[in-house]
Amino acid sequence: MARLAEILLPVSVRADQLGSMALFEGFRWPELEVAAGFFEEVQVARGTRLTVQGRFDSAFWLLVEGEALVSADARPLRVAGHGDAIGVAGMLYPVRSPETTIALSAIRALAAGPAEFGEVLKMDPIRLRLTALAGDQLRARRASRTR
């Protein structure tokens, strides 16, 4: 029984973390638990690059704690924090990452690789929200070029 608790606890903790994020707003607990099963909690050291502009992304990140600087073409775009999604466009579409993301502090994040991300996308509300988010981020990048 103790072994079962060890296995289940992390999923419930990740589900709780997802429930605190706007991306998963309105999800019921069973849906959060299903989604949480596709993420792994990871620690990221300050200075680590989560995405690199021009390279293919290998993970989708949801920040739980800490902050990261998101930039494109050597221009800062925003500071990502709790609940922000990193690597969206590069994971959604077969394109190289449009942004570089560097950890400004130690980060605790939920990460999903390509196969797990594909499973998350089978959840219609998440697919729609991520598609909209990718569009917003790409529009913001275009707008920053014209400034």
Q: Residue 81 sits in a domain of what CATH number? A: 2.60.120.10
Say if 113 falls within a structural domain.
yes
**Token digits for 59?**
């993970």
Say if 122 falls within a structural domain.
yes
Adjacent-strand bridge partners of 112: 60
In tens digits, what is the pLDDT along the chain, a chain of 147 residues? 444 444 455 899 999 999 999 999 999 999 999 999 999 999 999 999 999 999 999 999 999 999 999 999 999 999 999 999 999 998 998 889 999 999 999 999 999 999 999 999 999 999 999 999 888 877 776 776 666
Say if 22 falls within a structural domain.
no
User: Which residues form the domain of 91?
Assistant: 39-145
- Is the whole model's pTM more than 0.85, yes or no? yes
**Token digits for 105?**
């502090």
- For the chain, how many structural domains are there in total? 1
Alpha carbons 62 and 109: distance in angstroms, whole number? 5
Other Cβ atoms within 10 Å of 49 Cβ, number: 14
